[in-house]
């Protein structure tokens, strides 16, 4: 973490294409601009069938992976537009994880010495009754750096 409290040098934006994560992108770009910080947009992909111990055919796995990468690139393009308008440098990362999404975000943040994680309140899971999405909740619980949750 940077030596000055409240000053962020490396910011991580976790995106999943949800409205909340796209709103978080606006905050991330603004904070990166104010702090002259590095901004990284991160999305996590994984084979949901293998996550549950079910075998997926190689063809369906490959198609699902291609779809995930295609969607991720669309999200990154939207965030890139926001960043370019504000003259903020943005790096995009797609990680294929075999662990939970929240654990993958926290692990990435620790490995790359992130100072601040910005994430939306709820992702695309559709559990609207929850006050805080399970991924956001896990990141808030286990991250070793500050986390900003955007509604």
Query: What is the predicted pLDDT for the residue at 76?
Result: 96
**Residue 50: its pLDDT value, please?**
47
pLDDT at 49: 46
**pLDDT recorded at residue 63:** 83
For residue 7, give Cα distances in angstroms to 15, 37, 38, 67, 111: 22, 9, 12, 37, 19
pLDDT score, position 13: 98
pLDDT tens profile 89-137: 999 999 999 999 999 999 999 999 999 999 998 765 544 434 467 899 9
Helix spans in the chain (H): 19-35, 48-51, 58-85, 101-111, 134-142
Task: List 116's β-bridge partners, or say none.
Answer: 11
Q: Does 1 have pLDDT greater than 50?
A: no
CATH homologous superfamily of 10-150: HUPs (3.40.50.620)
Rg (CA), the chain: 15
The DSSP letter of residue 97 is -
- Nearest Cα to 102, choosing from 113, 112, 110, 90? 110
Smallest CA-to-CA distance from 10 within 68, 91, 104 is with: 91
Q: For residue 60, count other CB atoms closer than 10 A to its CB.
A: 11
Q: What is the predicted pLDDT for the residue at 110?
A: 98
pLDDT of residue 52: 46
Domain spans in the chain, listed from the N-terminal domain onward: 10-150
Residues 6+ apart with CB under 8 A from 69: 45, 94
State residue 90's pLDDT score. 97
**Reported pTM:** 0.85
């Amino acid at each position: 973490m940077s030596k000055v409290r409240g000053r962020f040098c490396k910011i991580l934006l976790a995106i999943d294409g949800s409205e909340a994560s796209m709103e978080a992108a606006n905050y991330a770009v603004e904070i990166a601009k104010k702090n002259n910080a590095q901004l990284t947009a991160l999305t996590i992909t994984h084979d949901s069938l293998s996550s549950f111990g079910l075998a997926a055919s190689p063809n369906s796995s490959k198609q699902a992976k291609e779809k995930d990468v295609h969607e991720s690139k669309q999200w990154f393009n939207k965030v890139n537009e926001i960043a370019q308008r504000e003259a903020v440098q943005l790096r995009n990362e797609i990680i294929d994880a075999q662990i939970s999404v929240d654990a993958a975000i926290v692990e990435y943040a620790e490995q790359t010495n992130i100072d601040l994680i910005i994430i939306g309140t709820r992702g695309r899971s559709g559990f609207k009754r929850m006050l805080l999405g399970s991924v956001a909740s896990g990141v808030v619980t286990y991250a070793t750096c500050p986390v900003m949750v955007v509604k």
